[in-house]
Amino acid sequence: MTAPQTLDCKGLLCPLPVYKASQALNRLQPGQLLRVECTDPGSLADFPALARQRGDTLVSATEQGDVQVFVLKKGSE
């Protein structure tokens, strides 16, 4: 499996990371992964909601220092 595409949203305020992630997910095929790096703490609440609304899966949400890293899997259809 190839490494997931990474979206650098460090230094971007909410809801810009969710917007950019949503745009990037639209360009992926079902099953493909997207990795998003954020620094706005609001993202912790936004990404689970985004995945739920879009029908994608939030594979993982981790914090590495000040950076939150989300891995999303594009859902079918």
Partner 1 sequence: MAVRIRNRRQSDRMTSARNDAGPRKLASDLSRRRYGDVRELIASPENPTPLVRLNRVLAPAEGYLKLEWFNPFGSVKDRTARALLEGLRARGALDGRELVEPTSGNTGIALAALAALDGLRLTVTIPSGVPEEKLVLLRMLGATVMPTPDELCPVDNPRDGAIALAHAVAESPAHAGRYVMPNQYANPDNVRAHYETTGPEIWEQTEGRVRTFVAGFGTCGTITGVGRFLKERDSSIRIVAVEPQRGHRLPGLKNLQESKPPTILDRSVIDDVIHVPDEPAYAMAKRLFREEALIVGPSTGAIVQAMRELDGETHGLTVGISPDGGQKYASFYRDILGEEGMAP
Q: Which residues bind partner 1 (CB under 8 A)?
A: 10-16, 18-19, 22, 42, 45-46, 49, 53
SS3 63: strand
Indicate the residue among 16 and 24 with the shorter CB distance to partner 1.
16
Q: To the nearest whole angstrom, how small is the minimum distance from the Cβ of residue 54 to partner 1?
A: 9
Q: Cβ distance 14 to 43 under 8 Å? A: yes
Indicate the residue among 26 and 29 with the shorter CB distance to partner 1.
26
Sheet strands side by side (includes 5-9): 5-9, 33-38, 67-73, 57-64
Q: To the nearest whole angstrom, how small is the minimum distance from the Cβ of residue 28 to partner 1?
A: 17
- Under DSSP, the state recorded for 1 is -
User: Any catalytic annotation for residue 9?
Assistant: no
